[in-house]
Amino acid sequence: LHEHATYLVDSMWDQHPMMKDWECMTDILLEAPDQEEDPLDDQHENCLIEIMVCCVREAATGEYPIGRGQPNRKLTMKEQKQKEDDKKVLTDHFIGTLPPLLNKYIADADKLLNLLQIPLHFNYEVYTTTRRERDLDAYLNALSDIVQRHTTAEIFDAVSKCFECVCDVSFTLSNRAIAHRGNIIDKILANFNAAMGIFEEMDEADEDDLYPLLLNLRKLDAFHQCHDLGNTDLWDKIHLLFKAAIDNEDMSPEIVDKCFGIANRSLLWGLYQLDMQFDKVILFLFHFFTAAKN
């Protein structure tokens, strides 16, 4: 099913209204079955979640799967209107049901990776227009718990992308999300600095000794992909890890890889900030000389 869920959904999209029955799908996952009903087993839950996520993607984007329809096809005005309406409806439903889904399946990485695709398709202004700040807080808290409990780079990457969407400054409540993201990054940095302090005191370190360091490097690398960590004084520590890798050939290749990723993104974010400042200087000079000319 993993390879074909998208095509299964697309083949039934225009014939079955149930493909947009978000309430039915989430009720099956969240509510306890009646006595005469058999509960879903793990495989059935995985299948339903994957199908549900494919339905969300098709409703929110209006895009056909690869091999179906014309590539790069532009939506008609009617299709565009339908897409925007569908996105509002699914957002209105999932901003209330996604947090309990994330909490229920927080220990299952495969289910989380699918569920974390849903908020990438939200119309975030629905939080504002329907006054659902509590649901937003529940969602942000669920993301924080996931970062705290999980250990894989894939999960951290998915959470980072979710924060990229909800922290978009065009979203009215983005400051709420930005503050929450800042708290998460502060905790990661504190744990990373603590792990680095222990590492610097070690004469020799095995894989278990280095694991806390690697775990926090995974988190930093994931968040740095979508978020500017700013002046977090990472360069000296990353340089120290590079030097340690040169001196110790047994250093975990993943640690080196994450260090390269963090260093690369630090440079890219720095260039981005320079570019932004350059644009501001050009605009200032334009206004200055225009005023002087007048």
| Nearest CA-CA partner of 256 in 270, 240, 271 | 240
C-alpha Rg value of the chain to the nearest Å? 23
pLDDT of residue 77: 86
Where does residue 64 rank: exposed (0-12), middle (13-18), buried (19+ CB within 10 A)? middle
Rounded distance between C-alpha atoms, residue 102 and residue 208, angstroms: 29
pLDDT of residue 286: 60
> Which sign, positive or negative, has the C-alpha torsion 280, 225, 90, 175?
negative
pLDDT of residue 1: 45
pLDDT of residue 93: 97
Helices assigned H by DSSP within 116-252: 125-129, 133-149, 153-166, 174-201, 207-226, 235-247
Digitized pLDDT (tens) for each residue of the chain, 294 residues in all: 456 888 888 888 888 888 999 999 999 999 887 777 778 899 999 999 999 999 999 999 887 777 676 666 677 888 889 889 999 999 999 999 999 999 999 999 999 999 999 999 999 999 999 999 999 999 999 999 999 999 999 999 999 999 999 999 899 999 999 999 999 999 999 999 999 999 988 877 778 888 999 999 999 999 999 888 876 678 888 888 988 888 877 788 999 999 999 988 888 887 877 777 766 656 655 655 566 565
Rounded distance between C-alpha atoms, residue 52 and residue 49, angstroms: 5
